[in-house]
Amino acid sequence: MKTISPENSRVYDASIIQLPRIFAQKGNITAINNEKEIPFAIKRIYYLYDVPGGESRGGHAHKELMQLIVAASGSFDIVIDDSKIKRTFTLARPDCGLFLPAGLWRELVNFSSGAICLVLASLEYSEGDYIRFYDEFSKFKKQ
């Protein structure tokens, strides 16, 4: 696995990963294995749901955490920012994930009704891994 240092990660280091889909007329299955379909081992899974219309989530960066974000249901946009450039990804399919390396600011916006944002994360929850103020993030990226 290529490791990208969080201070130097760029929006171009984020990528859409096409996940496998086991197709059947009675419904589909997508399976994700540690370090196989995605470039890290999964330590935590969480999901956002019942997001009210017009609400946004995120508004922070992570110092070490890597994530794969999937729209398990519905759709939403993720705006990422490396302190120089912003990129917007629309997630709208359960077999498509956005890989986010550490050190990128993100905002999740435009949630559709009933959207479920599934997040596979490389680390357990730690408030110390968050950068919650943009000016602190800018300084972090200039190290």
- Residues found near ligand TYD in the complex (CB under 6 A): 44, 46, 48, 57-58, 125
Identify which of residues 46 and 133 has a Cβ nearer to ligand TYD in the complex.
46
d(CA 4, CA 125): 21
**Choosing from 10, 21, 60, 63, which is the catalytic residue?**
60
Choose among 94, 99, 93: nearest CA to 42: 99
Q: Could you tell me the smallest distance in angstroms from the CB atom of residue 125 to ligand TYD?
A: 4
Q: How far is the CB of 59 from ligand TYD (least distance, A)?
A: 6
Residue 22 beta carbon to ligand TYD: minimum distance, rounded to whole angstroms:
28
Phi and psi for 139 in degrees, rounded to 5? -65, -40
Question: Of the two residues 96 and 108, which places its CB atom closer to ligand TYD in the complex?
Answer: 108
Going by C-alpha positions, the residue among 135, 44, 60, 73 that lies closest to residue 104 is 60
For residue 65 the two structure tokens come to 């955490």
Q: Active-site residue 62, yes or no?
A: no
Of 21 and 77, CB closest to ligand TYD: 77
Q: In the 8-state DSSP scheme, what is residue 142?
A: T
Instruction: Give CA–CA dist 24/9, Å, rounded.
Output: 39
Active site residues: 60
